[in-house]
Amino acid sequence: MERRTIVVILVAAVVIGLGYFVYTRYGPQRAETAPEVAVEEEEEIVPIVSASGTVLPAKWAQLSFNIGGRVEELAVEVGDEVVAGQLLARLDSTELAHAVAQVRTALATARAQLAAAKAGATPEEIAAAEGAVIAAQGGVAAAKARLTQAEIGAEIAGANLKQAEDAVDAAEAALAQAWGTLDMAKADLDSAEAHLDQVLAVPDEKAIETARLNLEQARNNLWNLQLERDAQQGRPTTPGYVLDQFKANIANAEIAIRQAEIAYEQAQAGATDEETAAAKAGVSAAQAQVTIAEAGVDAAEAALAQAQDAVVAAQGQVSLARADVVAAQAQVEVAEGQLAQAKAQRDRLKAGATAEEIGVLEAQVAQAEAALARAESALAKATLVAPFAGTVGAVYLRESEVIAAGTSVLVLGDVSTLRVETTDLNEVDIARVAVGSPVTLTFDALPERTTKGQVVRIAPMASVSQGGTNFTAVIEMTSPPEELRWGMTAFVDIGVDR
């Protein structure tokens, strides 16, 4: 008791002393400053709307060629930094370069003819003009032959594409037939196993009746297959492999009838050891047919995939053939223009140039200059250069691939300036957001980092998706973390007034 009393007294003394110390040290000050501290600690709660977003460069583009062709050179890889005007990729431009060379020759000829018309002609020049007409006529004939060849090539490419598409249809039909064969083989296996069960089972009246019905069913199945075969044989468009398949199915059906007859006989007389062995062999044979049919399905699926690849290749050949036709047509136009110029030059030299003829020659020079500008523009379209400095974010093709016009080549972005674009800011929340609204950003990849920003633009039109009606808000960051990468997910808290 005395010890407990002493402990209680000591504890009370410590409590009283501690209370006095706190009061003398902090009590008066808290009393004097409490209102001020309370004011400082009050933090205004700003309402926010939240959304998710994606980190994107302020400037980025998905680049492609304006024309189709075979990729001759791919000069960049993912992650490369490029400057404005740097080569990114180039198509095979052999035909286009030839066209430019021909047009340049035509322009030089037109200029020379104009100069000669103004200076007058000598007998030697007249003879040369006659030779130029003959040569130009040969050029027209050669260009037309090239155009005919290109058109034939385009027709062949189109026929090859049609043939490849027909092959896909045939492969799909063969696959369907293979699945039918597999289903039939599985049905035969089920029948063989059922027959084996019947052979092994003790015969009774129900078993005998069942065996009889199975025999009738097998005969009906054979009859149906024979009807289908006869119907297909009457069609001239039926492929030979379909008739071969019918033959195999009918043979299997005849086997099934024989098995059903044996089963019926066994049900009536009881199974012998030989019949039991035969039933087991029938199951093994049916299992083998299922395995063969499954292999047939695999082969048909592989053939279909190969036929589909052939269609893609044929489509590329069609694009190339059409480009050849366009180039050949341009060559014909150039050659005909050269012939017209050669004839005009010859006639002008013989008769002497008038003011009107000189004007025509000047117009031909202008026409050749315009044709050269078009040809050079077409040649330039075979080269893809960087429209601005940036980093290659993705590359979608490889060298030697044949592409169509507008096929995406790569994605280029200026990652020196990143911003965030929202992806799920709904129509209710967007009504509370304005340009200039403050934003707090966090990132899934950088959970402990927070940065500030503000809304700089709001999309004028909504994007409707399965998640609802959303608007895109563009957010510029005050101090974006250095670790940010293009495509990272951002979590956006936007301060609003209400």
Residue among 194, 189, 188, 186 at smallest CA distance from 294: 186
- Kindly indicate the confidence band of residue 16, based on its pLDDT and cuts at 50, 70 and 90: low
pLDDT attached to residue 9: 47
| Angstrom distance (rounded) from CA 372 to CA 97 | 11
CATH architecture of 48-59+417-495: Beta Barrel (2.40)
Q: Domain segments of the chain: what residues?
A: 1-41, 48-59+417-495, 60-92+383-411, 93-203+271-381
pLDDT attached to residue 202: 63
| Angstrom distance (rounded) from CA 143 to CA 107 | 18
CA dist 94 → 51, 69, 285, 323, 436 (Å)? 52, 11, 62, 12, 54
Q: Over 90: is that where the pLDDT of 119 sits? A: no
pLDDT tens profile 162-190: 999 999 999 999 999 999 999 999 999 99
The pairing of strands 402-403 and 418-422 is: unpaired
| Angstrom distance (rounded) from CA 389 to CA 413 | 8
pLDDT attached to residue 229: 83
Other CB atoms within a 10 A radius of the CB of residue 494 amount to: 26
Q: Quick one: average pLDDT of 278-284?
A: 89
pLDDT tens profile 299-322: 999 999 999 999 999 999 999 999
Where are the alpha helices (H) located in 120-236, listed in sequence order?
123-200, 205-233
Q: Over 70: is that where the pLDDT of 40 sits? A: no
**Can you say whether residue 177 is alpha, beta or left, with left for phi > 0 and alpha for psi between -120 and 50 degrees?**
alpha
pLDDT attached to residue 466: 67
Which residues on adjacent β-strands are paired with residue 225?
none
Q: Over 60: is that where the pLDDT of 479 sits? A: yes
% of the chain surpassing 70 pLDDT: 89
| Angstrom distance (rounded) from CA 217 to CA 393 | 65
pLDDT attached to residue 27: 46
Q: Over 50: is that where the pLDDT of 39 sits? A: no
pLDDT attached to residue 43: 53
% of the chain surpassing 90 pLDDT: 58
| Angstrom distance (rounded) from CA 232 to CA 236 | 8
Burial 155-165 (b: 16+ CB within 10 A, else e): eebeebbeebb
pLDDT attached to residue 28: 44
| Angstrom distance (rounded) from CA 120 to CA 304 | 71
Q: Over 90: is that where the pLDDT of 54 sits? A: yes
pLDDT tens profile 205-230: 887 888 889 989 989 998 998 888 88
- Do 93-203+271-381 and 60-92+383-411 have the same topology in CATH? no
Q: Quick one: average pLDDT of 225-254?
A: 83
* 3-class state of residue 144 by DSSP: helix
Task: Provide the CA 12 distance to its chain's centre, in angstroms.
Answer: 82
The pairing of strands 450-458 and 468-471 is: unpaired
Q: Over 50: is that where the pLDDT of 233 sits? A: yes
Q: Which CATH number fits domain 60-92+383-411: 3.40.50.11720, 1.20.140.10, 2.40.50.100, 1.20.120.530?
A: 2.40.50.100
For the chain, what is the largest distance between any 2 Cα atoms, rounded to a whole number of angstroms?
Answer: 149
Q: Quick one: average pLDDT of 415-427?
A: 94
The whole-chain average pLDDT of the chain stands at 85
Q: Which residues contact 497 (CB under 8 A, 6 or more apart)?
A: 47, 432
Which residues on adjacent β-strands are paired with residue 439?
453, 494
Q: Does domain 93-203+271-381 have CATH number 1.10.287.620?
A: yes
pLDDT attached to residue 425: 94
Q: Over 70: is that where the pLDDT of 389 sits? A: yes
The four Cα atoms 169, 174, 177, 181 give a dihedral, to 10 degrees, of -160
Q: End-to-end distance of the chain based on CA atoms, in angstroms? A: 67
CB 368 within 8 A of CB 104: no
Q: Over 80: is that where the pLDDT of 19 sits? A: no
pLDDT tens profile 94-114: 999 999 999 999 999 999 888
